[in-house]
Structure formats: C-alpha cells, structure tokens
Structure 1
Amino acid sequence: MKQLLSATLDGIDAKPVDVEATFTKGLPAFGIVGLASSSIQEAKERVKAALLTNGFSFPPLKITVNLSPSDLQKTGSHMDLAIALVIALQNDPTELDNLYVFGELGLDGRLKDTRSIFPILLSLKNQNLVTKAMVPVESLEKLSLIPGITYIGVETLSEAVAVCKNEQAPKEVKATPIEGDSVEIGPERFHFLREYPEDFHDVKGQEVAKRAALIAAAGMHNMLMEGSPGCGKSMIAKRLCHILPPMSLDEILQANQYALLGDEEPTFKPLRPFRSPHHSASKPSVFGGGSSQARIGEVALANGGILFFDEFPHFSKTVLEALREPLQDHRVLISRVNSKVAYTTRFMFVAAQNPCPCGNLLSSVQPCRCSDIEIKRYKQRLSDPLLDRIEIYVQMQESGPDDRPSVDSASMHQKVIDTFCRQMERGQRRLNGKLEEREIESFCRLEGEAEAVLHKAVHSFGLSHRGVANVKKVARTIADLERSDSIEKAHLLEALSFRRRG
C-alpha cells in the first residue's frame, strides 16, 4: 500500500490527510472513500484521464483510495496530484515520507494552482507540520514567500512521477522579493510601501482631526470622528491605510491567507487591509458565519489593518453590540453545528458619524431639523460599553473657504515609521493601541506630574479602568511621536483631550 500526505481546510486551519491506495482482486473499479466532497469525488475522472494520457495503464483490479482520518470532511481539487501519485507509484519502492503533495490535474496531466494551496501550506507551517511539499510550478511565486519549506515544483503528472522516482531533479525555487521598502529591527525585517494614491494633502483644514489620525495610525488606536456631512470624515479614513505602520512577513502572509479564505485575490504587498462594510451589512457578513460551514467575515479580513464603519449609528444594534468582543479580546469564535472557527481580529477600528440624524447639529450655517427626541434616540444607538473601547474621539471642524492643505501623507507616514521603530526597539511585540494589561504597566509608565493629572482626570471624568488604560496607550504613542522616552504631563493632557465627553 502506497501512502502520501496532503491536507484540507477545517475552518481556517489546515488538517493533514493521509492519502492511501490499494489494488485488490475484484471487478475493475475506482473509488474514493473518507468523507470526500463532490469536488474530490469528481477527481476520479480527472485522475483517470491524466494517468491514461501520461502512459499509465490501469490493471484489471479494484482500486480504492482512502483519505484518512475518515471522520474529517475533505474538500478541494488540490488533492488530485496526491491521488494520482499513490496510484501511479503503487508498485514503486520509492520512499515518500513527510512529503506533502498538492495540485489540481488537467485532463492532459498538466498541474494547476488552486486558491486553497497557499492558506493550507501557511497553516501547516504555523503548526510546524510541513518541511517539504510538491506543488504546481505556477504556485511557486506566492508559496516561496512562506519560509522554512522546501518546494518541489512540477508542471505535469509525468514530471511529478519522474521526480518521485529520482529520475529527474526538481526545479530550483527562488524566494519572491516583497515589494517596497523595509526596515530591519533586531532579527526581523518589516516592510512598507511609499505609495499614496489618496493623499492627506487633499484634506483642507481639519488640523485636529489630522493630528488625531496621525496618533491613531502610529499606535493603531481605535478612532471615532463626528461632524457635519462633507467635512472630511471619510476622506481621512480612506487615507489612513496608506500611512499605517510597516508589516512583518508573518502579517503579510496572514493577511493574504484571510483574503484567500474570503474568496478575494491576494496581492502580497506590504499594504494593510482596509475594509468598509455598508451599514446595511448583516451580522454574519461582518463577523462570519454560514448555515453549515463557518466562513470568515469583514472583521477577520480587516485583521492587521482598518475596519471602517461609515454612518456608525445606522448599523444594526446586533452588529454594534457584537463588535465589543473583537475590539476587546482581538478574537472571535464562530460556532456552528459542523464547525467552529476562531480567528484573530487585531484591527484598527475607525468610525464616522453625524452629530444628529439630519447632520446639522454642529453647523453654524445650516439649521438642525431634528427634535430632541430624535437626537436622543440617535445617540442612544451607541452604547457606553462600545464607545469606551474607542480611544480617540474627534469632533470635526466646520469647513471654510480659507481652509488650506497643511501636511501630506509622505511626511505623516515617515513619522509613523519612526514611531513604529521606537515601539519595536523598546521590546514591544504589539503596537501601543493593542497592548495587553500587563504590557501597559510595563511600557506606559507615567512621570510624577503626569500621574497626578491622570488621578484628577479619573475623578473628574469618571474614567473606567478600561478608559484609564486607553488614555495611557494614547499618551504613550504621543510621547513616541515626540521622541520622548517617558510619558510627560503634556502628552497625557493631549491624550485626555481626545476622550469623548458625555
């Protein structure tokens, strides 16, 4: 009995699958067992055609292919090559231990890439389960970004058989360079792009909001902008993704893994994701779900980047309240009868809202048409526990004819990169906005005068324990922007100025 290794996705994690084949006496037949999906059952015809067109003749025996473990649902056409090889090499003494095999077969034996190969191999590598894999040549460009795996690239089934029999040397694989610039901090390299298709130079006026955006980007802090329609809330949000901190290789790979699982085309660029669901989006589309198989949602696709909610209060109450968990725990668990999926949600949350239903409450020119009850009902859609998870609140200024551009994205991005380097060189593994409780105590210590100011603020503003932690994190980022090793009184006062009142 010949055996090879392949794998299947179970939620967002890959599970190894043993592919076994036996030839037994009986009526000639070809069957696949082991909870195989329809895409794998259809592989019988693809495998049979590919083997026959590449010189293999089927013996008059019953061929049974087993996919183990048998209680795990298997899906995907990437198992075609493994199934074909265990049949073609059945009588060959070649040892294929610890070799994972992936690839979809064409009827003529050509090998094709599939969307699931990259997330499967990345998950297997993160679990330290794979060191060597045979894959289609057209998959190598993106797969070579995953370090620590030796790849054997093949173009056809006959070439794969020849490599397994040591009759042909495998193709040499060169690592694909990542686009853009990079900065090296200790043993790790971080990557970023200096491309600004949407520039902060287009934002006229709004100096306070631009300062808040710089602080939020430098520390990946959650931010809420409130202002009249047309004052620039969405403009600022859309420009934020181009000035975010550099990304590690692991972050780039995970972002593209989630993109592939979300049926989107990956780019493998060091550009953090930007997700902006419409306010009519359902809870499953935002957080993930599905009737039988749990699928990832917008909060997972935004991991490491920005999740932007425009018209914040107009989202459904169930979506707004469910947002608390990913903002606080940076993790979401989706449970279904047949599957459970847990995924990381360490994103920067950015929201924009009008001050009232008509939008003119803060305007000195346009009269507000809303009644007190309408305004109160509008405000009450956002609960205090949800708002308490947002570190930076900005009340936008009114637009005026004298407003002028003051700063561009390139200069803001450079400040963010410098601040990022300070955080990493300090020994942090997370940016200021995503620090855990014990890390806040270690990295966000206050000077004596700043400690006294915070103590007064706790009593004056009724800050919760979470609110105090948020102020400390924002003050730490402001101090980093000012290249200060300690958090001083001025830094803390500016952080307090971005707290929401009432």
Structure 2
Amino acid sequence: MALESCKTIALEGVIAHIVDIEANIGAGLPGIHVVGRTDTAISESRQRIKTAIINSKLAWPKTKIVVSLSPASLPKSGSHFDLPLAVAILLAGMKAQDEQLAADGYATWGNESFAEKTATTLFLGELGLDGSIRPVPGILSAMVAAQKHGYHTLVIPPGNAGEAQLVEDTRVLVAHNLREVFEWLRGNRNLTTPEQIPSAPRNQVLDFADIAGQHEAKFAAEVAAAGGHHLMMIGPPGSGKSMLAARIPSILPELTTSQSIESTAIHSIAGSVGNVITHAPFISPHASMSRPALLGGGSGNPRPGAVSLAHNGVLFLDEASEISPAVLDGLRAPLEDGEVRLARARREITYPARFQLVMAANPCRCAAEDPSKCVCRSTVRQDYLRNISGPLRDRLDIVLELSSQAAIIHTEDEESSQSIADRVAAARDRAACRWKSHGLSVIHNAAMSSTYLRRHCAADESAMALVGAYLAEGQLSQRGVDRCLKLAWTLSDLDGEDIPGLDHIARALNLRGEGF
C-alpha cells in the first residue's frame, strides 16, 4: 500500500479553501475511485487524467487507486482539480514502486524531494488529453488562500500568468504540461515564473467628446463619477442616455491594485479566465434578466451575477421600466451593504458588489417627450415607472431628465473624457485625503458612513437649515438627507471648497430630482 498527497483549493464564492488530496495505491481490481463530495466535472476527470498521464509517457498504476478529497464535507467542483489529482496519483505510484524495489532488494527512486515540494505547494490546472495544462478560474483566490495558510508556491497554467502577477509575495511557477510538473518534482528541471505582461492600454474609443450638447447631463455624470453616486436618466429615445452611461467608465480613475485583484477574481470565477481587470468594468445586462442573473446564484456551485461583475465599476440598467419589480428590488441590499449573500444548505456564499448604479428609462411607453403629444392613457403614463419602488428610488442620488432638444449637431468644441477625468480624479483625491484625516479608508463620498457624516462632517448652518426644511415638509426622507449631504460634499470637492454651503445643498437637491 502506498499513500501520498498534495494540496489544491476549492472555491466557495470568491473564497478559496485548502483541499488535501490523498491518493492510495493498493491491492484490488484496477480502477480509480474518487470520494469527497465532488461534482460531475471531477467525477468525469478520471479517464481524462489517466489518458493525460499515459500520453505524457508516465506510469499509470495498474491496480486499485482510491483518491480522497478532504475536508469531505466541503463541496468541490471545477476542472482545476485535474492537475493535483494527477500529481497525487503519480506520487503514490512512485512510492509504490519504491516499496516494491525495496522489497526486492533494489535501490529505490527516493521520494524525499517530492515531500519537500508538495508540503508547501498548491497545484491548479485542467489537463488536456495530451498532458497540456489549461487555464482555470480562481487563481487569485488561490493565491490569497496560499498566503493566509502558509503555502509559498503555486503551480499554475500559462494561461493564468497575467492574473498571478497581481499578487506579490507568492512564488508562482508556470507549467505547460504534466511532464514538466513531474520532472520538477523529481528535481530534474526548473519551472519558469510568469513573464511581466504590460498593462492593457485604456480604451478611449468611447469619449464624452462624441456627445453633442447635453452639457447638464454631462455635468451630472461628472458629479456621479466624482462621488460614486447612483444615477437615473429619464428621457426620450435619441436623447443620449445610453451614450452617457457607456462613457462614465472613461472618466473614472484606474483601479488600485487591491480593486484590480477583487474585480479580476470575480470575473475569473464567472468564466473570464486570464483577463486582468485594470479599469472600471461596465456591465449592462438585458432588461429581461432574471433575479439570479442580476444577483448571482444557480444550482450546485453558484456563480456571481451582474452586480458582482460590476464591482468597482458601473452597472447600467437600460430600459429600467421593463425590468421586473421583484428583480429591481433585489438591488436594495447590495446598494446598502456592498455585497450579495446567497444562502445555500448549511452554508452562505458572499460576493462583493460595490458598484455605481446607472439606470435609464423612457418617460412613458410611447416615449413622447412632450406630455401633450403622448398617446398613452393617463393611467399608463402615471404607472410607467411604478416598477421602481420607493425604497429603490430613495437610493438614487441623482435623477436627471434629458431632452432631445438639448443636443446640437456638431461636436468640435465638446470636452474630452480625459479633461473630465482629471477633475474627477482631483475631487476624489480631495475626498480621500479628507476622510483619511478622519481615520477613515473611504475612496469616495457615496461610501461614507451616514451617521459619521451627520455628526462630524455636516454642511454649514444655512445649508443644514434648508435640508431640515425639506425633511419637515416630507420632501426628503432620512435616507434622502444622507444622500443629499453626500452629494453636496461631492459638489464641494469639485469646486475646491472646504465645506458644503447653501449653494451646494441647493444644487444637490436639484440633482436629486425630488419630483421623480
């Protein structure tokens, strides 16, 4: 009997758990048995692993093989188990040969180098039938888990090399095929490290300079970007709602290293393997999406939804009036908490979801800009946006009414995205420095604690008196007061002022569009 093991990870949301893979080779009918609460992808990998080992000119044990994945209670899924399963079987096979050679009085291969390397190494990769190692999701989550649990080395496919460069202080080795991994374990060769891959240039195809006119709408988009505020645009077709929304990422700052790691990890788990996210993502799902498509879910191993894919970026919901009310109301918790919690049997999976919401809708079903030209019945026009509930409306910081008449023909003198992005970056820097002086790690005003803002960072007396009057008249809710105050701080940062004044509060109330 020969028993050997190696380590890999199991994904639960964006969290990676260390999994110990034990392979035992002993007496019995030839065959491989995998136990440990595995899914179909792992169960079907047995023949793929056997073929990969044989085609790599390595020895396949011709006896009974039992492979156990522990902890046994943890659900395990994914093709990244291929490589560690093959490694564990090969190590056990080498040990079985050693035991047989020793019993026959011959010199053994020796497996001391195997034990030294596998003790501190995580293996991830999908195997092709020829033994090649293909990219898999979850590399960044595995690297974070490796640092947390003291594993100093990761062996990964070459297709994941770009992601691996985002995390420092972890030794990453790239293996192109199973034979390379085996020779490295035996000490006969070295594996390469990921080559430095240059950051992808920022895509400036979409530019605010392409939009003719709509200066008020552009300013509202600038304010939303500077403070991370949620934006709602209402206007007839052709007024530029989708164009404005699609260009908001072009004025947002580049992601920090930690933000890039978070966003890349989510997109990797969702299937975009090997793509490094360095700029704010722009996610625009169709209006017919289901609740799981928006929030995440699915049977077996849940996948992140649109709100998580838009983490650190923009979630654009076009034709918001056509989205189911039950689906839209699912946004309320992520907008407040910055995360999505998916409850499953005896476990809860959490995905980050701190995004900037941008919504767009026509004024009515016939989309007439002038109410006098509307052919809809009065009840239809009044009920057109009823699917957007009051609590969700209260979470929208800016409500903007666009007019097709605000556009012009020529775009020669329009301001570019780069110019707007410079002002947005300056405003965010002012906000970040201010909150840092208060001992808070907040990158934009919308993420500020409402309680702290009211107690320690209110506007001046005249401005707060105006807010109090709106609250007393019922034109603002308590949440609306908090949103208005955060919006006023953003306007103050754009103006270079130290504290919001009456003008900033008045402009914030106007941007909130309390008539919506």
Q: TM-score, normalised by structure 2?
A: 0.87
* Secondary structure, counterpart of 2:341 in structure 1: strand
Identity across the alignment (%): 31
Q: Report the alpha carbon displacement of residue 303 of structure 1 after superposing the two structures with TM.
A: 1.4
Residue 165 (structure 1) aligns with: 186
Q: Report the alpha carbon displacement of residue 445 of structure 1 after superposing the two structures with TM.
A: 3.0
1:121 aligns with 2:142: yes
1:93 aligns with 2:112: yes
- Please, what is the CA RMSD of the aligned residues? 2.5
Q: Report the alpha carbon displacement of residue 334 of structure 1 after superposing the two structures with TM.
A: 2.0
- Structure 1: how far apart are the matches of 2:322 and 2:343? 27
Post-superposition CA distance 1:316-370 (Å, at most 9, x none) = 111122221122222222224486322122111111122222222x428x71112
Q: Report the alpha carbon displacement of residue 23 of structure 1 after superposing the two structures with TM.
A: 2.1
Given candidates 377, 380, 388, the residue that maps to 2:386 is 380
Residue 10 (structure 1) aligns with: 12
Post-superposition CA distance 1:146-190 (Å, at most 9, x none) = 22311122223232122223332332444444334xxxxxxxxxx
* Secondary structure, counterpart of 1:88 in structure 2: helix
Give the partner amino acid of 1:349. L
- Structure 1: how far apart are the matches of 2:217 and 2:304? 32
Give the partner amino acid of 2:328. L
Residue 24 (structure 1) aligns with: 26
Residue 62 (structure 1) aligns with: 64
Q: Structure 1 residues 246, 457: CA separation in 2 closer, same or farther (over 3 Å shift)?
A: farther
- Structure 1: how far apart are the matches of 2:63 and 2:276? 47
Residue 493 (structure 2) aligns with: 480
* Cα pair 2:230 2:397 within 8 Å, conserved: yes
Residue 333 (structure 2) aligns with: 325
Residue 308 (structure 1) aligns with: 316
Residue 462 (structure 1) aligns with: 475
Post-superposition CA distance 1:91-141 (Å, at most 9, x none) = 212322121111223333332222x24254255258556432112234323
- Structure 1: how far apart are the matches of 2:89 and 2:328? 53
- Structure 1: how far apart are the matches of 2:43 and 2:407? 67
* Secondary structure, counterpart of 2:18 in structure 1: strand
- Structure 1: how far apart are the matches of 2:163 and 2:385? 47
Post-superposition CA distance 1:415-448 (Å, at most 9, x none) = 1122222223331433112222345347743223
Q: Report the alpha carbon displacement of residue 19 of structure 1 after superposing the two structures with TM.
A: 0.8
- Structure 1: how far apart are the matches of 2:462 and 2:287? 44
Count residues with an aligned counterpart.
Answer: 486
Higher helix content, 1 or 2 = 2
1:363 aligns with 2:370: yes
Q: Report the alpha carbon displacement of residue 200 of structure 1 after superposing the two structures with TM.
A: 1.4
* Cα pair 1:196 1:410 within 8 Å, conserved: no
* Secondary structure, counterpart of 1:423 in structure 2: helix
- Structure 2: how far apart are the matches of 1:93 and 1:28? 27
Residue 184 (structure 1) aligns with: none
- Structure 2: how far apart are the matches of 1:235 and 1:19? 51
Q: Structure 1 residues 376, 58: CA separation in 2 closer, same or farther (over 3 Å shift)?
A: closer
Correspondence 1:437-448 to 2 at 5 A: 437-441=450-454, 444-448=457-461
Q: Report the alpha carbon displacement of residue 5 of structure 1 after superposing the two structures with TM.
A: 0.5
Q: Report the alpha carbon displacement of residue 62 of structure 1 after superposing the two structures with TM.
A: 2.5
* Secondary structure, counterpart of 1:212 in structure 2: helix
1:294 aligns with 2:316: no
Correspondence 1:269-288 to 2 at 5 A: 269-288=277-296
* Cα pair 1:80 1:105 within 8 Å, conserved: yes
- Structure 2: how far apart are the matches of 1:445 and 1:130? 48
* Cα pair 1:145 1:176 within 8 Å, conserved: no
Residue 183 (structure 1) aligns with: none
* Secondary structure, counterpart of 1:378 in structure 2: coil
* Cα pair 2:221 2:244 within 8 Å, conserved: yes
1:38 aligns with 2:44: no
- Structure 2: how far apart are the matches of 1:117 and 1:384? 38
- Structure 1: how far apart are the matches of 2:358 and 2:336? 15
Q: Report the alpha carbon displacement of residue 232 of structure 1 after superposing the two structures with TM.
A: 1.4
Residue 402 (structure 2) aligns with: 396
- Structure 2: how far apart are the matches of 1:496 and 1:69? 55
* Cα pair 2:239 2:407 within 8 Å, conserved: no
Correspondence 1:246-261 to 2 at 5 A: 246-261=254-269
Q: Report the alpha carbon displacement of residue 386 of structure 1 after superposing the two structures with TM.
A: 1.2
- Structure 2: how far apart are the matches of 1:401 and 1:285? 35
Q: Structure 1 residues 423, 57: CA separation in 2 closer, same or farther (over 3 Å shift)?
A: same
Name which of structure 1's ranges 459-468 and 95-104 shifts more when overlaid on structure 2.
459-468
- Structure 2: how far apart are the matches of 1:107 and 1:3? 23
Unaligned runs of 5+ in 1: 181-192
Q: Report the alpha carbon displacement of residue 475 of structure 1 after superposing the two structures with TM.
A: 0.9
Residue 442 (structure 2) aligns with: 429
Q: Report the alpha carbon displacement of residue 201 of structure 1 after superposing the two structures with TM.
A: 1.6
- Structure 2: how far apart are the matches of 1:125 and 1:59? 30
* Secondary structure, counterpart of 2:112 in structure 1: coil
- Structure 2: how far apart are the matches of 1:167 and 1:327? 54
1:106 aligns with 2:128: yes
Give the partner amino acid of 2:69. L
* Cα pair 2:160 2:273 within 8 Å, conserved: no
- Structure 2: how far apart are the matches of 1:221 and 1:126? 35
Given candidates 474, 499, 502, the residue that maps to 2:512 is 499
Post-superposition CA distance 1:234-263 (Å, at most 9, x none) = 111111121113311121222222222223
Q: Report the alpha carbon displacement of residue 214 of structure 1 after superposing the two structures with TM.
A: 0.4
- Structure 2: how far apart are the matches of 1:264 and 1:175? 20
Name which of structure 1's ranges 446-455 and 475-484 shifts more when overlaid on structure 2.
446-455
Given candidates 78, 81, 101, the residue that maps to 2:83 is 81
* Secondary structure, counterpart of 1:231 in structure 2: coil
Give the partner amino acid of 1:153. V
Q: Report the alpha carbon displacement of residue 293 of structure 1 after superposing the two structures with TM.
A: 3.7
Residue 349 (structure 1) aligns with: 357
Given candidates 202, 206, 220, the residue that maps to 2:210 is 202
Post-superposition CA distance 1:395-426 (Å, at most 9, x none) = 22341675654422121111112222222333
Q: Structure 1 residues 240, 490: CA separation in 2 closer, same or farther (over 3 Å shift)?
A: same
Give the partner amino acid of 1:494. R
* Cα pair 2:296 2:302 within 8 Å, conserved: yes
Q: Structure 1 residues 138, 324: CA separation in 2 closer, same or farther (over 3 Å shift)?
A: closer
1:243 aligns with 2:251: yes
- Structure 1: how far apart are the matches of 2:455 and 2:10? 41
Q: Structure 1 residues 25, 398: CA separation in 2 closer, same or farther (over 3 Å shift)?
A: closer
1:143 aligns with 2:164: yes
Name which of structure 1's ranges 66-75 and 136-145 shifts more when overlaid on structure 2.
136-145
Given candidates 439, 444, 451, the residue that maps to 2:464 is 451
1:47 aligns with 2:49: yes
* Secondary structure, counterpart of 1:64 in structure 2: strand
Q: Structure 1 residues 335, 216: CA separation in 2 closer, same or farther (over 3 Å shift)?
A: same
Q: Structure 1 residues 264, 81: CA separation in 2 closer, same or farther (over 3 Å shift)?
A: closer
Q: Structure 1 residues 105, 292: CA separation in 2 closer, same or farther (over 3 Å shift)?
A: closer
